[in-house]
């Protein structure tokens, strides 16, 4: 079998078979297919796509390209969650301990962020002492004993995805839906759960901005899960404005703690409860979505989820005192207020612009390995549909470097639009697929 023959086959729009796709993945991971050739193949997929069967074969070959996690020693129903990412998306920090209170077992492998702010791992590392670099044994042991753990994605798990993801980013092929589906689902399959819930964001601050395309992505993932015997459901959720009111690593940890304490309501809490309910419905724990929502609401309101969060922080070496005193989290040297220009209603809050402003302040990274500042970010006082008085704070910027402050302030101001008439708030959960 020769690479060039398979490249020409896909370039011409013909269908590949399972052995051909397995060959491509195996040889690329082994370093026998150079990046310049695989780049051409990714571009052929971008223009000619893959059908459902080809996408499934690619997903399974990628999942088998390295180590897998064996969860068989862990009793009970094991679950996982994936988000397509967005601005202020702190769901995992709340959902993981919440799910663990219901009797489900959840182990989440997460990554570091590129773009607006850090990823889940960066956010957790803003907790003093928190360890994300666990061995597989420590990770599995924590799930077995306490029902939860979050650790950094290892290089040994699905190496095909790690190599292809970096190459896609460099070749302009990131937006190919078959490549996105195989990236998401290969990692979930390799982690070995019984059920998975997907949070697919759509809107200005999302990777997938078009609703129909987000639905297509979610449907592809759900169908692949069904083919390999993995229970998958998905919610399409709004990302036209930031989720929650904090954008920045330590700020988002603080917000997650407020939600777990019952001190913060709103869209972040609602999305988390609905995603948890989906996992409960997949399991024997809930017979209906309504029952799943009731269980999730009760566990969060009772403080049990906060207790599980404390357990996870302690187990992974973090300082649990940050829960009672969030001032122990990294704090910026300065904080500046942005006031409303008039007495009106907020009619637009561009999530992408808020994310850009957070990145300017140093909350995110532009390239892999770049350092981020865990203390900086943006705190939102007003969101879509809310009334504001002239001069009232609409946001606060937390900064450590004044050189970036003025640019970030302008970006935040431009992210807001106002009107004399109130706006009907967009629906938060746009579609549900299973």
Told to judge if 431 belongs to the known catalytic residues of this protein, a careful annotator would answer no
In the set 80, 89, 122, 161, the catalytic residue is 161
In the set 81, 82, 105, 245, the catalytic residue is 82
Told to judge if 187 belongs to the known catalytic residues of this protein, a careful annotator would answer yes
Torsion of CA 307, 311, 313, 315, to 10 degrees: 180
Q: CA 303, CA 311: separation in Å to the nearest integer?
A: 13
Helix, strand, coil percent content, the chain, rounded in steps of 5: 45, 15, 35
b/e map of 367-383 (b: 16 or more CB within 10 Å)? eeeeebbbbbbbbbbbb
Tokens of 356: 């850009």
Told to judge if 153 belongs to the known catalytic residues of this protein, a careful annotator would answer no
Cα–Cα separations (whole angstroms), residue 167 to 85, 193, 202, 212: 19, 28, 24, 26
Tokens of 262: 């019952």
Q: CA 151, CA 107: separation in Å to the nearest integer?
A: 8
Beta-sheet pairing, 78-83 with 429-433? unpaired
Told to judge if 398 belongs to the known catalytic residues of this protein, a careful annotator would answer no
Longest Cα–Cα distance in the chain: 70
Residues 6+ apart with CB under 8 A from 233: 195, 196, 197, 198, 222, 278, 281, 282, 432, 433, 434
Told to judge if 299 belongs to the known catalytic residues of this protein, a careful annotator would answer no
In the set 92, 110, 176, 183, the catalytic residue is 183
In the set 123, 187, 310, 398, the catalytic residue is 187
In the set 78, 168, 204, 356, the catalytic residue is 168
Quickly tell me which residue has 């809107």 as its tokens: 203
User: Is 80 within 8 Å of 95 (Cβ atoms)?
Assistant: no
Residues taking part in catalysis: 82, 161, 168, 183, 187
């Amino acid at each position: 079998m020769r690479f060039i023959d398979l490249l020409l086959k896909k370039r011409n729009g013909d269908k590949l078979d399972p052995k051909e796709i397995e060959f491509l993945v195996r040889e690329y991971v082994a370093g026998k297919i150079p990046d310049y050739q695989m780049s051409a193949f990714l571009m052929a997929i971008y223009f000619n796509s893959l059908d459902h069967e080809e996408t499934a074969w690619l997903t399974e070959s990628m999942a088998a390209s390295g180590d897998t996690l064996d969860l068989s020693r862990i009793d009970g129903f094991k679950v996982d969650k994936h988000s397509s990412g967005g601005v202020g998306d702190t769901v995992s920090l709340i959902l993981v301990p919440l799910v663990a209170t219901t009797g489900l077992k959840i182990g989440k492998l997460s990554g570091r962020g590129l773009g607006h702010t850090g990823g889940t791992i960066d956010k957790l590392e803003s907790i003093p002492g928190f360890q994300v670099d666990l061995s597989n044994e420590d990770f599995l042991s924590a799930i077995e004993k306490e029902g939860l753990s979050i650790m950094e994605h290892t290089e040994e798990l699905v190496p095909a995805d790690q190599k292809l993801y970096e190459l896609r980013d460099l070749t302009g092929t990131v937006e190919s839906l078959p490549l996105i589906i195989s990236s998401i689902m290969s990692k979930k399959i390799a982690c070995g759960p019984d059920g998975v819930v997907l949070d697919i964001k759509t809107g200005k601050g999302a990777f997938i901005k078009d609703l129909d395309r987000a639905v297509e992505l979610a449907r592809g993932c759900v169908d692949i899960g069904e083919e390999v015997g993995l229970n998958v459901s998905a919610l399409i959720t709004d990302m036209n404005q930031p989720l929650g009111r904090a954008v920045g690593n330590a700020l988002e940890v603080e917000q997650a703690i407020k939600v777990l304490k019952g001190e913060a309501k709103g869209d972040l809490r609602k999305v988390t409860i609905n995603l948890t309910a989906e996992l409960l419905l997949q399991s024997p724990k809930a017979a209906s979505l309504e029952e799943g929502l009731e269980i999730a609401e009760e566990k969060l309101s009772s403080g049990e989820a906060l207790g599980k969060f404390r357990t996870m922080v302690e187990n992974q070496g973090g300082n649990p005192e940050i829960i009672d005193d969030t001032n122990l989290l990294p704090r910026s040297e300065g904080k500046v207020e942005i006031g409303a220009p008039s007495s009106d209603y907020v009619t637009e809050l561009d999530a992408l612009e808020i994310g850009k402003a957070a990145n300017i302040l140093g909350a995110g990274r532009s390239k892999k390995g770049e350092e981020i500042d865990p203390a900086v970010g943006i705190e939102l006082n007003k969101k879509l549909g809310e009334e504001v008085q002239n001069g009232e704070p609409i946001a606060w910027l937390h900064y450590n470097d004044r050189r970036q402050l003025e640019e970030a302030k302008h970006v935040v101001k431009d992210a807001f639009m106002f009107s004399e008439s109130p706006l009907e708030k967009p629906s938060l959960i746009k579609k549900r697929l299973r």
